[in-house]
């Protein structure tokens, strides 16, 4: 990764607690679509604080969670007791050959070297195993959500990350689906949700505070947010899956 991306990825080490407190889970329908029938063993790459790890464990899978950040991994172990969690990256998992039926990546594919990650994931998967990549994306068709998104992306010059993964020749063509759902939150929590993003975590204090104050202003003035105790934050969970070539 270039220096900016490296700094952005490293920022979650100090933002782990707010990430765990504010980021949404993944809808069960999306997780079931990503996991192939009969799967027993899963590897959750760049598992973060365990948002997807927990849903995989709920399906009865044996999950190995890999997360390079000590702080994020600590939050994961607290949130998903008993799960196997270890340091490792998508390019160098440290896992043996053929240990997983499914490898999952949530909100993280953009941090990877796609060529190296494709080769490593294919090695870790059993023949015919599945790689699944998920993105929770706020629904831009809702006006206050679009306004919130505009604020938190001000000055952010990294390309949008929620795209189809570019996989190596080890994989068959990808399949795609999108699941619509919503997370119920307090409007005041939008400030913390914004603060959990790598763009804001790496800004100078004054610039970060200006964006967070703009979020507070949106909450105080928008008719769909002002004075509300709870609101529905709509999401699109975009999912891609691909099987290894036998």
Convert the pLDDT of each residue in 114-130 to its tens digit.
999 999 999 999 999 99
Convert the pLDDT of each residue in 173-227 to its tens digit.
999 999 999 999 999 999 999 999 888 988 999 999 999 999 999 999 999 999 9
Mean pLDDT, to the nearest integer, of 2-23?
74
Confidence (pLDDT) at 5: 59
Convert the pLDDT of each residue in 55-108 to its tens digit.
999 999 999 999 999 999 999 999 999 999 999 999 999 999 999 999 999 999
Mean pLDDT, to the nearest integer, of 7-23?
78
The pair phi, psi for residue 193, each rounded to 5°, is -60, -45
The interaxial angle of helices 143-152 and 205-221, nearest 10 deg, is 170
Three state DSSP letters for 139-188: CCCCHHHHHHHHHHCCCCCCCCCCCCCCCCCCECCCEEEEEEEEEEECHH
Q: Which neighbouring-strand residues pair with 45?
A: 66, 105
Residue 45 has pLDDT above 80, yes or no: yes
Residue 10 has pLDDT above 70, yes or no: no
Confidence (pLDDT) at 155: 85
Neighbouring CB atoms inside 10 A of 124's CB total 25
Neighbouring CB atoms inside 10 A of 154's CB total 13
Confidence (pLDDT) at 7: 62
Question: 3-state DSSP helix/strand/coil percent for the chain, to nearest 5?
Answer: 40, 25, 35
Instruction: Give all domains of the chain, ordered by start, each with its CATH number.
Output: 3-141+156-186+230-243 (3.40.50.150)
The rounded distance, in Å, linking the Cα atoms of 152 and 136 is 16
């Amino acid at each position: 990764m270039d220096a900016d991306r490296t700094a952005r990825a490293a920022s979650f080490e100090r933002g782990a607690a707010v990430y765990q407190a504010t980021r949404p889970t993944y809808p069960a329908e999306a997780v079931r679509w990503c996991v192939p029938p009969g799967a027993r063993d899963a590897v959750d790459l760049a598992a973060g604080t365990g948002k997807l790890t927990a849903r995989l464990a709920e399906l009865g899978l044996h999950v190995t969670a890999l997360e390079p950040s000590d702080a994020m991994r600590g939050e994961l172990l607290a949130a998903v007791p008993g799960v196997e969690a270890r340091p490792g990256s998508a390019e160098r998992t440290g896992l043996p050959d053929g240990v997983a039926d499914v490898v999952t990546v949530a909100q993280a594919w953009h941090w990877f070297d796609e060529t190296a990650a494709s080769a490593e994931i294919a090695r870790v998967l059993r023949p015919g195993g599945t790689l699944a990549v998920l993105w929770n994306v706020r629904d831009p068709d809702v006006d206050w959500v679009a306004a919130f998104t505009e604020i938190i992306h001000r000055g952010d010059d990294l390309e949008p990350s929620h795209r189809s993964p570019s996989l190596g020749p080890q994989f068959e063509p990808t399949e795609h689906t999108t699941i619509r759902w919503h997370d119920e939150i307090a409007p005041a929590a939008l400030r913390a949700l914004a603060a959990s993003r790598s763009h804001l975590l790496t800004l100078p204090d004054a610039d970060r505070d200006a964006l967070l104050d703009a979020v507070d202003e949106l909450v105080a003035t928008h008719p769909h947010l002002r004075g509300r105790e709870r609101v529905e934050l709509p999401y699109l969970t975009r999912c891609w899956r691909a099987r290894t070539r036998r």
